[in-house]
């Protein structure tokens, strides 16, 4: 297949099984993009260490779980390069070289850095070189493949902006070697978790994309709805609003899993008090059961094929490494290291 001129690169930290938020926020998008672009998708295991350095016991398992979810969701190793960051040591080399030209202030003022430092610092000591340098490593991930496009969610915008600034600075010092990447924003609304807050593994409110029929049912029937809609015929507030700030989670999921027509009608019925939350969740469960069963079937098949995931990551990493070595030759030459 002839693919567009733009190389595309993205990555995820291996946190283990993916949830519905990861799926609609990134993965479903990647699956479409692999048809149109030359894509590099990294299992960013070194990035995992920036916050998780003290607890690496489950790292290999988490890499495998996440790669299985990627494959079961439709990433096709024939159409994209999926690889493990740490299997391509050029990421470390480029990150080191880029760190020489990255002003500390760019890193210290990075909003994600400040936010995470506050949020996570009770649990972990994040006053490390590696954590501050997170965006430099991410810039290396992207620039190593001379990616023109980086599909990401809004939260990652500052990181891609930093990668652009680092590329610009590199090119102005050493000559044009590293193209400036563009963010490709995913047009998915924030996916709420079962309790109405943003879906996140660390909040314990996630619906995994690999739930069994039982666990899916349990989670769906307990979704946060509109607390003002105590009885079936009370008028509800499905959308986020003053009366129900988080919005109804069942409604948010209808929008993802049912047709646009159905979910619009369902919104009206809810507002008019024509449907109760229990019946509404049962409908949602019917919508979700099919895709979840299909996903589970594919995933079990893949997990059962012994050594398959490992082989795919190995082949992908060898492929990625070739591209990475080409860029590094030019980088070293431009910097007069070779
Ligand atoms: N920082 C990204 C995240 O937490 C993961 C990531 C690592 C990434 N390397 C990347 C994303 C390169 C885009 C491009 O989601």
Instruction: Encode pLDDT of 240-281 as tens digits.
Output: 999 999 999 999 999 999 999 999 999 999 999 999 999 999
Any ligand 1 atom below 6 A from CB of 138: yes
Whether the CB-CB separation of 66 and 55 falls below 8 Å is answered with no
- Taking the CA of residue 44 as reference, the ligand 1 atom at the shortest distance is 7
**Across all residues in the chain, what is the average pLDDT?**
95
Any ligand 1 atom below 6 A from CB of 110: no
> Tokens 């369902």 label which residue?
266
Any ligand 1 atom below 6 A from CB of 141: yes
Q: How far is the CA of 271 from the centre of ligand 1 (A)?
A: 39
Whether the CB-CB separation of 42 and 85 falls below 8 Å is answered with yes
pTM for this predicted structure: 0.93
pLDDT in tens, 29-83: 999 999 999 999 999 999 999 999 999 999 999 999 999 999 999 999 999 999 9
Any ligand 1 atom below 6 A from CB of 9: yes
| Residue whose CA is at the smallest distance from ligand 1 atom 14 | 10
**Cα–Cα dist 257/250, whole Å:** 10
pLDDT at residue 1, as a whole number: 47
Query: Picking from 7-21, 121-135, 264-278, 306-320, which range would have the lowest pLDDT averaged per residue?
Result: 121-135
Class of residue 204 by CB neighbours under 10 A (exposed 0-12, middle 13-18, buried 19+): exposed
Residue-wise burial string across 169-187, b where 16 or more C-beta atoms lie within 10 A, e elsewhere: bbeeebeebbbebebbebe
Q: How far is the CA of 327 from the centre of ligand 1 (A)?
A: 20
* pLDDT: which is higher, 66 or 191: 66
Q: Which of 20-24, 110-114, 184-188 has the highest mean pLDDT?
A: 20-24
Judged against a pLDDT cut of 60, whether residue 2 lies above it is answered with no
């Amino acid at each position: 297949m002839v693919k567009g001129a733009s190389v595309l690169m993205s990555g995820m930290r291996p946190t283990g099984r993916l949830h519905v938020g990861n799926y609609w926020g990134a993965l479903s998008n990647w699956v479409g993009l692999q048809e149109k672009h030359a894509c590099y998708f990294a299992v960013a295991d070194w990035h995992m260490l920036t916050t998780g350095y003290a607890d690496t016991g489950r790292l290999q398992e988490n890499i495998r779980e996440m790669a299985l979810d990627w494959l079961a969701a439709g990433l096709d190793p024939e159409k994209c390069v999926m690889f493990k960051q740490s299997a391509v040591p050029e990421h470390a080399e480029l990150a080191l070289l880029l760190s020489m030209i990255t002003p500390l202030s760019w890193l210290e003022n990075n909003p994600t850095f400040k936010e995470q430092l506050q949020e996570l610092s009770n649990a972990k000591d994040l006053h490390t070189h590696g954590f501050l340098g997170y965006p430099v490593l991410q810039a290396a991930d992207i620039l190593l493949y001379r990616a023109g496009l980086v599909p990401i969610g809004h939260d990652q915008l500052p990181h891609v902006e930093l990668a652009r600034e680092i590329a610009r600075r590199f090119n102005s010092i050493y000559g044009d070697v590293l193209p400036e990447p563009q963010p490709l924003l995913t047009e998915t609304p924030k996916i709420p978790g079962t309790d109405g807050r943003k879906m996140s593994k660390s909040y314990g409110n996630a619906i995994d994309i690999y739930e069994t029929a039982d666990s899916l049912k349990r989670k769906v029937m307990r979704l946060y709805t509109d607390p003002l809609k105590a009885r079936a015929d009370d008028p509800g507030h499905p959308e986020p609003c003053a009366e129900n700030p988080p919005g109804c989670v069942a409604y948010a999921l209808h929008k993802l899993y049912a047709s646009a027509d159905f979910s619009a009608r369902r919104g009206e019925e809810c507002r008019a008090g024509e449907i109760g939350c229990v019946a509404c969740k049962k409908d949602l469960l019917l919508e979700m059961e099919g895709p979840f069963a299909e996903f589970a079937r594919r995933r079990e098949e893949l997990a059962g094929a012994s050594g398959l995931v490992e082989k795919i990551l190995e082949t992908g990493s060898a492929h990625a490494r070739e591209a990475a070595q080409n860029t590094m030759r030019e980088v070293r030459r431009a910097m007069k290291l070779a």
